[in-house]
Amino acid sequence: MKRNRQEVFMEILTVFNENNVNTDALSFDVRLDAPDFPIDSVLFMKLLVDLENRFQIELNYPEALGAEKPTLGSLTDYIEGCLARKTQ
Amino acid sequence: MRTPTDDFSIHDLSVYVPPRRVSVERLAAEIVQHGGVFSGEEIRRFKTDYRFSHVPVERERSLPEMLREACHPLVERLRRQSLPIDRILMVRTSELSWHDENMLREVLHTYGLQERPFHAIGQHNCASVHLALRMARNLFRTDPYTSGILLVSADKAIHPFFRRLPDSLLGDCASACYLIRGRKLHRTLLIENVVDPTFYDGISGKAEDWKWFQTTYFFALRQIIMTTLRKASLAFDDVRLLIGSNVNYRTWQVLAEMLRLRPDKFYTETIAEAGHLYCSDILYNLQAAVADGRLRKGDLYLTVSVGIGSYGCALHQF
Amino acid sequence: MSKLFLSVFAAVAPTTLSGSDYLSSFSEGYGAANPLFCLFADRQLSFQQGDLAAGLSEERDHIPAFRGDFTDDAVRFLAEHGHGKRKIDLLCYCHETVGGNAGMLPAWKIQKRLGLVNCLPFSVGQQGSLASVSGVELVQSFFRAEPVQHALLLTIDHVVSPFSRKRFCGFAKGDAAAWIHFTRDEGTYQLLYAGQRGCCLPVSMHQWTADDYERAERMLIDKALLLLCEIRKQQRIDWTIAQCVSRSFLAGLERAWRNCDQKLFQRTRWANINFLGSDPFVTLQEMDSQITVQAGETIALVFVSPDHGVGVLLLQKNN
C-alpha cells in the first residue's frame, strides 16, 4: 500500500502513542538527538522495532539515523523510501 | 597455487592478562587521587549493575613486552605444527602510542618473521577486532599465497583516567590468534561492521552526542545481531551463545530482555574478574567459554564487539 | 584480476614553523594530564630526550606544520576536490603521527564532515610511513573481495610536541596530506603493485644511537633495492621516487639504483623535509608539474620507515 510522507509520519506518531509517548508537540523538525527528546534507550529500541513491524521493513541503523541532524522528518523520509522500494 | 576460498577459521589463540588485579574501589581511589571523579554511587553502580569487581593492571611490561607474552606460546605451537605465518595484522583500541615504533620487534626477530607484510588497523574502538576479521577474510579471498595470518592486539591504560569509561572499566591485556584458511577449529562464516561517525570525539564529545549514543546503543546492537542472523538465514535458537565485549553486564542483561532471550544466552562470566579488555575481550571470552563447556563442537555462535559508535558481529562455528 | 585506478593529490601544510618556534614549544610545561606526556612517562622517557635540535638552525629552518585541527584542513582539501559529493564506500585514513587530540578519531570526523553515508572508515597506523602502502594494499584487497566502487585513502601527518621532528641525521619531519581516489574504471594512474618488505633492528628505537640509525638506514637501502629489483623482473620501472628520509639515504639509494641503470627523481622544493607517509606523493606532484610522463610509463614510489621496513607502490600512467 503506497503512503505519502504525511501518512507515514502519522503512522509513526501512532506507534509512538501506542508506546505512551506524548506526540502533541512532535513535528517533522523535532530532533531525535535533542537533549530533551523524552525517550530513553530501551524505549527507543522498542519504538524502532515496532516501526519495523508496522511497516514490515528493516531499519538500517546508519542510513535511518545517521543524518547530520536526525529528525522525525528524516526518519519519515527514510521509511517512505523503504516503502517505495518495496512497491517497485 | 592454492585456490582462494571464503572459509577461514580461528585455529588457535593465546591471551596475556597481567597477574595484578585491582579492585573497583582501589581504581576509584586512584582516579580521585589524580583529580578525577568516581563517586560512591558510581562505585555501587559499577559493582552492582555492571558487575565489575577487579580489572588486570599492567605495571611492569610495556605494550611490546605484553605482545611478546601473548605471542610466544601461540607462535611456538604454530612452529611445532609447521603452520605458516604469511601476514601479520595488529589491531588496537587506542590510537595513543609511538606510531613509528615496531611493537612486534622481539617477536619478529625471535621467529624470523621480519619480512612478513604487516598491517596495523584501527579506529573502530573496541569493535576493531571485527574490522580485523573482515580484513583477514578479504586477504584470504584475494591472496592465494596467504594461508595463515597472525592477528595480535594489545592495549593498556597508561594513566588512571584512561581506565574508566562512563559505563565501563578497562583492563590491560594482549592477545594473539592464528587465522587459517579453510575449515578448522572456529570457522568464521559472516562478519558485519557498523560505524556511526557522529561520535568521532568519543567520550570527549559534546553532551548531546553522548546522549544520542546512549539512546541508539541498544538499537544499534540489536540491528547488527539481527542483520548477521538474517544474512545467515538463522534464528536465535540456532546459535548456542552470544560472546560479547565485556563492556558491562547491564548491556547484555537489557539486550537479552528486549530480544526475549534468556540472560545466559550471552556469555558474561568474565566481566567481574577481567573487566573490559579492549579488543581482546572476544578472544579471552571465547577461550573461557570453551573451557567452561559453554560451547560444544558443531555449535554456531556469535561474537559481538562494541565501541563508542562502532559495532562488530561475526558468526562462527566451533 | 580486475584493474584498479587512482588519482593522487598532495598538499603540504600551508603554514610553517620556524626552528626557534619548534624548539620553544618543548619548553611549555607538559603535565601528567596531557595524554601524550603519559606515553613518555610510561616508558620512563623524558620528552627532552631525542635529538631535538641537531641539524636545525633556530633562525633559518622553516618546517611546514599544520596549525590547529588538521582535520579541518583535510576536509577543506577534499571538499575543494569534490569528494563530498561522491558516493564513497571506503575511507582509509593512514597516519604515522598521533596528532594533538588523542581521543578524536580523524577518519570518522572527516567522514562525518564530508557527509559520507554507508561508508566504512578505518585507520592504518602503527607502522611509520609504511601506513600508506599498507593502506593501499588493504584498499586493493577490498576492491578485489567486495563490491566496492569508490574508495578514498588519506594520509595525513601532524607532528605535535612532545614528539620530536628530528631524529639523528634524518630530515626534519614536516606536515602534509595526500589523498588518493580509487575506482574500478578511471584515474590518472593504474595500480600495478603495492607491497612491503619488513625489517627492523633488534634494538628498541628508544635506545638508538646515531650509529644504530645509520645501520637502520643501510638496511633500508638494501631492502628497497631488493624489492625494486624484484618488481622490475615483472614490470618495467621508468621513474623512481623515494621518500626524503635523509641525505645519506637518498644518496645511498640513488647510487645503488644507478648501478641498475635506473635513476631517482629528487624533489627540489622542501628537499630537506620528510613528509612521512605523504612524502613520495608530494614528490610525485612536483614531478608531474615538471615532466610529462607518457601514458604507459611506470613510476615506483618508495616508502621507508626506519623501524618497520620499506614499501613500494608501482603506478602506470593512464591514457
For chain C, residues with pLDDT lower than 50 are 49-51
In the beta sheet, which residues pair with residue C315? C191, C299
Q: What is the pLDDT of residue B92?
A: 94
CB-CB contact of C134 with B87 (8 Å): no
| Each residue's pLDDT tens digit, B145-173 | 999 999 999 999 988 889 999 999 999 99
Q: What is the pLDDT, as a whole number, of residue B33?
A: 93
The confidence score (pLDDT) of residue C57 equals 62
Quote the minimal CA–CA distance from C118 to chain A in Å.
7
Question: Which chains does chain B touch, 3 or more C-beta pairs < 8 A?
Answer: A, C
Closest to B189 (Cα-Cα) out of B245, B236, B233: B233
Q: Which three cell numbers stand for residue A84?
A: 517505495
Architecture of the domain whose range is B187-317: 3-Layer(aba) Sandwich (3.40)
Q: What is the residue extent of each domain of chain C?
A: 5-15+62-183, 189-317
Domain ranges of chain B: 8-181, 187-317
Question: Which CATH topology does B8-181 take?
Answer: Peroxisomal Thiolase; Chain A, domain 1 (3.40.47)
Report yes or no: B56 and B90 within 8 Å, Cβ to Cβ.
no
Read off the pLDDT of residues A69-85 as tens digits, 9 standing for 90 and up: 889 999 999 999 999 98
Interface test with A, best of C87, C108, C111, C117 (most A CBs within 10 A): C117
Nearest to B116 among C33, C124, C198 (CB): C198
**Residue A85 grid cell:** 522500494
**Has residue B212 got a pLDDT over 50?**
yes
pLDDT at C49: 45
Chain B contact present for A56, CB below 8 A? no
Residues in B touching A59 (Cβ below 8 Å): 223
**B158 contacts C42? CB cut-off 8 A:** yes
**Chain C 275-314, residues with CB within 8 Å of chain B CB atoms:** 305-309
Which CB contacts under 8 angstroms, 24+ apart, belong to C33-36? Answer: C33/B35, C35/B96, C35/B159, C35/B162, C35/C102, C35/C103, C36/B96, C36/C98, C36/C102, C36/C160, C36/C161, C36/C162, C36/C163
CATH of domain C5-15+62-183: 3.40.47.10
Q: Which residues of C190-207 are buried (b: 16+ CB within 10 A; e: fewer)?
A: bbbbbbbbbbbbeebbee
Preferred mutation among B208, B216, B222 to probe A, highest tally of A CBs within 10 A: B216
Q: Does a cis peptide bond (omega within 30 degrees of 0) precede residue C162?
A: yes
Dihedral through CA B139, CA B144, CA B147, CA B153, nearest 10?
A: -20
Confidence category of residue A36, pLDDT binned at 50, 70, 90:
confident
Q: For A62, which of B196, B214, B258 is closest by C-beta distance?
A: B196
Quote the CA–CA distance of C94 and C107 in Å, as a whole number: 9
pLDDT at A48: 95
Q: Are residues B215 and A40, on separate chains, in Cβ contact within 8 Å?
A: yes
Lowest mean pLDDT among B12-21, B197-206, C268-277, C288-297: B197-206
Q: At what angle do helices C247-258 and C210-234 cross, to 10 degrees?
A: 30
DSSP C165: S
Quote the ipTM score. 0.95
B47/chain A closest Cα distance in angstroms: 21
> Is the fold of B8-181 the same as that of B187-317?
yes
Q: Which of B316, B294, B313 minimizes the C-alpha distance to B124?
A: B313
How many domains is chain A partitioned into structurally?
A: 1
Chain C: closest CA distance from residue A10 (Å)? 27
pLDDT of residue C50: 45
Find the CATH number of the domain harbouring A67.
1.10.1200.10
A62 inside 8 A of chain B by CB: yes
Residue B138: which of B172, B98, B188, B185 has the closest Cα? B188
A6 HSE (CA, 13 A, CB side): 0
The answer on pLDDT for A24 being more than 80 is yes
Q: How far apart are CA A81 and CA A88, in angstroms?
A: 11
Classify domain C189-317 at the CATH topology level: Peroxisomal Thiolase; Chain A, domain 1 (3.40.47)
Selected for mutation to probe chain A from B49, B195, B213, B218 (highest A CB count within 10 Å) is B218
A59 touches chain B (CB under 8 A): yes
Residue of A nearest to B222 (CA): A45
Identify all chain C residues contacting B31, using CB atoms and an 8 Å cutoff: none
C neighbours by CB contacts (3+ pairs under 8 Å) = A, B
Nearest-CB residue to B220 (from A32, A58, A61)? A61
Two domains, one topology: C5-15+62-183 and C189-317: yes
Give yes or no for C118 touching A (CB within 8 A).
yes
| Beta-bridge partner residues of B168 | B165
Q: Sort out which chain B residues have CB atoms less than 8 A from C41's CB and list them.
A: 158
Question: What is the pLDDT at residue B209?
Answer: 87
In chain A, what is the greatest distance between 2 CA atoms, to the nearest angstrom? 38
Q: Is the pLDDT of residue B280 over 50?
A: yes
Nearest by CB: A63 against C112, C115, C117: C117
C87 touches chain A (CB under 8 A): no
pLDDT of residue A86: 84
Q: Is the pLDDT assigned to residue B193 strictly greater than 60?
A: yes
CB contact under 8 A, A66 and C115: no
Give me the pLDDT at residue C54, please: 58
Å between C254 CA and nearest CA of chain B: 23
- Name the 3-class secondary structure at C265: strand
A72 residue type, one letter: L
Asked if A72 and A26 touch (Cβ cutoff 8 Å), the reply is: yes
Q: What is the mean predicted confidence (pLDDT) over B226-244?
A: 97
